Amino acid sequence: MAEITCIEDLHRLARKRVPRIFYDYVDGGSWTESTYRANEADFQKIKFRQRVACDITKRSTTTTMLGQRVAMPVAIAPTGLTGMQHADGEILAARAAKCFGIPFTLSTMSICSIEAVASATQSHPFWFQVYVTKDRSFTADLIERAREARCSALVVTMDLQVFGQRHKDKKNGLSVPPKPTLRNIIDIAFKPGWCLQMLGTQNRQFGNILGHAKGVDNIASLVEWTEEQFDPTLSWQDVTWIKKRWGGKLIVKGIMDPEDARLAIAAGADAIVVSNHGGRQLDGAPSSLSALPAIIDAVGDQVEVHMDGGIRSGQDVLKAIALGAKGTYIGRAMLYGLGAQGEKGVSKVLEIIRNELDLSMAFCGRTDINAVNREILLCQNTDKYLN
């Protein structure tokens, strides 16, 4: 195998090793996928201002996110079905994040449960993402389980009241476990490594739901519950209720409009994540990067502003930080590494991103990520590039 030097190398390897039904779940967006593509493309529109003859001997990418010291301004995003990219995927990704020194965020729709991840990481604090379900008692139970697992922050995702139309998932008949169609059986048969991994684990269902939600004790009831529980009545009052019940650090994810950013702050958010759900919800929405500057201008220093969507390199991280983000999240990049090489692949992703971040910062004449601002960009008026 050729040496892996960039995220795209891991992407290609994951495509070969992960069954198509789960690979497509990661590598796709909704409708025409225009927003999914824009998330990546808009990063390429922004150009750096290269500087020379600067002393760049001592450099640091270390900073903080929500008061937590991090090796670089990157967290692992909450991603559903992570354990279907590689057996025990959430556990492996959490371990890699712990060793590297960045936050890991576990999704409500994870395969490995909150308790399993906490046990495997020796109760090392991680973040937990919660969906507000119609059954508020289940949501309350998730919050208590996150507290017992010593999670250091709660992430509330606001942009999944209904599902975006994801053509690939519909055509593949996405389900956990995969439906035994002829197409799926043939595809999985050509992924022997993945099959062996899955045979070696007990984590093959939605661990946070099965056996915890009322009436959900088998696959059939799990599917029915999942389809019914996402709540279209979700409101800012629910966020206030979660903040009061949780009491700790609260991150609100899915913000794409300055007015929603202000409402999130009023509801109790300690940080917001500028995110369009990776282009998987509203197709035709702007990229997360293009929405970022206006939201930062609107909220100032009232809360930390993070962002996700389209980050595939350390240069992307640097551009987001230059535009004012305090932190970034990686989802697909992490999943490519996981699908390609398990925990080793996730660690490789983090190493690649930090190296690219460090070198790019140096070429811009900066030695401390905390000193990076729009001055490192060739055009500080980014509207010229992004609109």
Distance from CA of residue 226 to its chain's centroid? 20
25 is in an annotated binding site: yes
Structure tokens at 275: 């995110």
166 is in an annotated binding site: yes
249 is in an annotated binding site: no
80 is in an annotated binding site: yes
Given 11, 86, 277, 306, the catalytic residue: 277
Q: Is 68 exposed, middle or buried (0-12, 13-18, 19+ CB in 10 A)?
A: middle
253 is in an annotated binding site: yes
331 is in an annotated binding site: yes
The beta strand positions in 35-113, using DSSP E, are 63-65, 68-70, 74-76, 105-106
CB-based contacts of 359, cutoff 8 Å, min separation 6: 314
310 is in an annotated binding site: yes
107 is in an annotated binding site: yes
Please give the single-letter amino acid code of residue 125: P
Cis peptide before 177 (omega within 30 of 0): yes
105 is in an annotated binding site: no
221 is in an annotated binding site: no
The sign one gets for the Cα dihedral 358, 321, 372, 65 is negative
The beta strand positions in 29-183, using DSSP E, are 63-65, 68-70, 74-76, 105-106, 127-130, 153-157
Q: Is 277 a catalytic residue?
A: yes
Alpha-carbon separation of residue 197 from 17, 18, 25, 201 (angstroms): 11, 11, 19, 7
131 is in an annotated binding site: yes
280 is in an annotated binding site: yes
List residues forming the annotated binding site.
Answer: 25, 78-80, 107, 129, 131, 157, 166, 253, 275, 277, 280, 308-312, 331-332
Which amino acids are annotated catalytic?
Answer: 277
List residues forming the annotated binding site for glyoxylate.
Answer: 25, 131, 166, 277, 280
List residues forming the annotated binding site for FMN.
Answer: 78-80, 107, 129, 157, 253, 275, 308-312, 331-332
